[in-house]
A and B are shown apart, each in its own frame.
Chain A
Amino acid sequence: MITTSKGSRNLTWQQDLSYYNIQNITALGQNETLFQGVWPTTVSSPYYHHPQDEATSTFSKEHLLSFYQAYGISPDYTAVNSTLYALLDSSQSGLGQRALMDLLYPTTTITTTTTNNTNNNTTGGDDGNALPSFATRQNGTSFYLWNNTYYEDAGAIDPARGSTGATEQWFRAAALRPASTAPRAYGRHARAVDGYEPVLVEDVVSSSGGEGEMPVVPAASLVVGGGANVLSGFEGTGSPGTCGGGGASG
């Protein structure tokens, strides 16, 4: 309970965080498949316009990182390049806004951004019905050549001739304009061919009320890896478990 010249008010700060990680590492660390997810949620009090207001504002995010990398070390740098093969899928999505932004950009009316950790928005896609919101996803593949003799043990930097790859990104954000009930949305879809001479082959920007069609951010997918690093290849028996129920606080 905080008391100022405007009266007394309960202020809230709560956090719930979840984390999930699985790694499959082989060849003394040269090959790895990793999937990691972080789900932070904060509940705070928005900047009030009326005393005794106990509304709360929730900001929830999902961040997923999934990749597979496999190094091929050349026994003779003078003859054959070393290689690095990588697959990546990464995404972020969010509903609501950070506490600092909530105070910096208060709306003219008290809003409560309601989120639910079990909602379907945590798929890397976005929910156009909840504001503000954003979603972005990157998906890439790369076969990269490198050779220490190019630059005296400088390491695997500067794409070497023969490297190939492609990286694609989707982005969408929507928010309520100040002093308006009309949401605004911004989207972008870019796709590039990677390599010694990278090329941006697609870059489409769109906005609500403007040109272009708003992109749909596709849901994230799991990079399952390859060979001994495949995440789905387990030793022994095991069957998909079932998800239980129950209540929780915090």
Chain B
Amino acid sequence: MTVTSAGINYDRLSLLYFGDIEVWRSTTAMPVRTGIYYTYSKDVTAYMPLLRTQQKVIMQLDNIYDSVFTGNFNVTIAALYYDDAASYQYSQGSAGHRTGTINPPDAILPISSRSSAQNQTSVFSLPDDNATVALTFPRNVERAVVTVLASGSGGEEFWYTDVPAPYLDTFGADVTFARGHGPWREVQVLVDGRLAGVAWPEPVVFTGGISTGLWVPVVGMDALDLPAVDVDVSPWLGALCDGAPHEFALRVVGYDAAAPAGLGTVAQNWYVSGQVFLWLDEGGNQTTGTVSDCLHSAPSRACVRRVLTYFFFADWLGHAVGARGPGLPAGPDADNLCQRQQQLAPDLPLREPLQTVARRRDYDLQGLA
């Protein structure tokens, strides 16, 4: 992707879709009057099933272009194909498995609004949309991975600076960063209503974030290629390969002390879309399986298990407090955070918590067997 622009404008979000599947999410650098130029290369080998067939390419880059915002964005996207036959092998080894060093999926299914027929990008906007689709897997899937692209825009661009609801009234109505959902977000992937995996987004500072002056010409990490997150749903294949449609849903939640389990909504404009990458069992026509009881099995069993421990600190009056409260599970995670804090900021005292949240969930998937 090569972009040029000259003039004045904000940083803009861009979405690139092949049909109903999002391939690349990026933000632009902010132009200057004398002009900017940049180019970025992205490895899209994982999308090989799409790259071998004709695709409708849809790119969305919303912008304001008028007498004030004079920076228009000229975008060129080129696909480079490399003939690397030595690495790309479908041959079966002695054990009947693929032996190539590049092992692309056989199919990709969209978890999106499927709007390409209307020549629109197929992104969901949460919390307003219902990011739920029904997918029917081939019966002989041997591996499946869900990837999700999720980013906050508008009032959620600076979600990582948000404050919990109890402190909202401290700030005036003009303060846009304070929405009352806390500085933590969780992206959830659900299969048939059950939580399959989560991601805790890492803050991506766009080129207009924190201070515009920081990002010319070096841009913030991941600003040009927003990272996707993975949830391996292969342990679920025993249920997913039954030939029936199954529901895949995406959610974004924030912290809300008053909500059940501390999970609440977000303000606006969390753009999400996902896809399922499928690898097929070439020698078989039906994948079967059972799911172990996660609560009582050894960690190596096929199960989804999540242990979350997080600490929240907030202060709005110029007094910083720390939280590492009682009742939190001890262990490597808690100890590691404590040690990391002392590595980074040995002068920060550990005090009684202002607010602490610790959650642990073990998911029993026997219901899907």
Contacts and interface: CB of A to CB of B under 8 A. Distances in A.
Q: Chain B at the A interface: mostly helix, strand, loop or mixed?
A: loop
A231 B320 contact: yes
Contacts of B142: 2, 4, 6
B336 to A, nearest CB: 5
Interface in A40-87: 40, 42-45, 47-51, 54, 56, 61, 63-65, 67, 69, 84-86
Interface string B304-326: 11111111111111111110100
B300 interface: yes
Contacts of A215: none
Interface in B163-207: 163, 170-172, 175, 177-178, 183-184, 196-203, 205
A29 B230 contact: no
B150 interface: no
A144 B200 contact: no
A50 B289 contact: no
A138 B209 CA distance: 14
A210 interface: no
B220 A138 contact: yes
B143 interface: yes
Interface in A197-249: 197-198, 200, 220-222, 224, 228-229, 231-236, 238-241, 243-249
B349 A24 contact: no
A107 B101 CA distance: 6
B26 interface: no
B218 A92 contact: no
A122 interface: yes
Contact of A84 (B33, B213, B231, B324): B213
A145 to B, nearest CB: 9
Contacts of A182: none
Given A13-B233, A167-B214, A241-B350, A23 B337 contact: no
Contact of A49 (B95, B237, B342, B345): B95
B170, B232, B310, B349: most-surrounded residue (chain A CB, <10 A): B232
A214 B345 CA distance: 28
Interface stretch (B53-61, B124-132, B279-287): B279-287
B299 interface: yes
Interface stretch (B15-23, B109-117, B260-268, B327-335): B327-335
B341 A20 contact: yes
Contacts of A42: 230, 232
A99 B232 contact: yes
Contact of A48 (B97, B170, B235): B97
A25 B315 contact: yes
Interface of A: 1-6, 10-26, 28-29, 32-40, 42-45, 47-51, 54, 56, 61, 63-65, 67, 69, 84-86, 88, 90, 92, 98-101, 103-108, 117-118, 122-123, 136, 138, 140-144, 151-152, 154-159, 163-165, 167-169, 178-179, 190, 192, 194-198, 200, 220-222, 224, 228-229, 231-236, 238-241, 243-250
Interface of B: 8-10, 30-34, 45-46, 68-69, 87, 93, 95-99, 101-105, 140, 142-143, 145, 147, 160-161, 163, 170-172, 175, 177-178, 183-184, 196-203, 205, 208, 210-218, 220-221, 228-235, 237-238, 277, 279, 281-284, 287-290, 292, 299-322, 324, 329-351, 360, 362
11 contacts: A20-B310, A22-B320, A35-B344, A67-B210, A86-B213, A157-B8, A158-B32, A167-B215, A200-B218, A238-B350, A250-B307
Given A14-B303, A220-B344, 17 more contacts: A4-B142, A4-B287, A12-B299, A13-B304, A16-B307, A18-B310, A18-B337, A22-B320, A22-B348, A26-B318, A84-B211, A100-B228, A117-B333, A154-B69, A157-B8, A234-B351, A248-B331
